[in-house]
Amino acid sequence: MTLTKTANQFVVTVSGHKVDMHKGGSGPPLLFLHGGGGFGAFDPIGGPLADKFTVYAPSHPGFFGSERPEWLSTINDLAHFYKDMVQVMGLEDYVLVGHSVGGWIAAEMAAMGHHNLKGLVLIDAAGVRPEKGEITEIFMVSAATRLKLAFHDPSQVPNYDVISADPTPEVATVIHANMEMLSRLCWRPYLHNPSLPNYLGGVKTPALVVWGKQDAIIPVECGEMYAKLLANGTLKSIDNCGHNPQVEKPDEFNAAIAAFLGEL
């Protein structure tokens, strides 16, 4: 659910609010924003991203038992919060990567201003509403159902037995709290911002949109929309893959990311 605490974990204070930050790797800065389920089985600070970048991976306010500012109640609010955090940390010419709801936050941040943004990567991102399909309901279903929706073919997911194991009471409490915060942020309108498509055309930053072609939560149609709306957006859809390509198809995912980042 969350990254293991290491010596590379520290706290960033933004407008008086403390944010747990994980850091790994070396090189130019890269900010990774996790999805509504946390980091899951993906470790951004210890994987291939950290081979060429200094990866910063914060835990969102209100997730993993952390407090949140009273005024923070929407994804747009959270995007403003992280823009302030980027300034506090002094990140320049950084790469912004976000998965699912983290991708939505990243898209909002890019739309707010991208003068110091070197590259944008959206992974099965929420934020836009499909014109033909639907975004699947995830709040009113069981954790087991959400897990089934997260992957297209569990047999190809490394350590799926660990991922699917019954959580301890402590972890179950964290999952419940995360979902409560997630619903606070994006229940209505459901997992999208109707205005966001109108902002994205102004984002000139090179952008890679990575999507599991069989995503059962946010359809690949949304990936096609993002790639079309972003001025310099490119879609990489990964076949035989669901909502978490970084976990379900790591080789293809890492190859796509590496090719994109290598051209920045």
Map out the domains of the chain with their CATH numbers.
Answer: 9-262 (3.40.50.1820)
Over residues 20-46, the pLDDT tens digits come to 999 999 999 999 999 998 888 889 998
Report whether pLDDT(64) > 90: no
pLDDT score for 38: 87
Over residues 12-22, the pLDDT tens digits come to 999 899 999 99
Tokens of 86: 């980027």
Residue carrying structure tokens 């960033």: 12
Q: 87, 12 in Cβ contact below 8 A?
A: no
Q: 98, 32 in Cβ contact below 8 A?
A: yes
Q: 41, 163 in Cβ contact below 8 A?
A: yes
Q: 34, 59 in Cβ contact below 8 A?
A: yes
pLDDT score for 171: 87
Report whether pLDDT(7) > 60: no
Count the alpha carbons within 13 Å of 190 in the hemisphere toward its beta carbon. Answer: 10
Rg (CA), the chain: 17
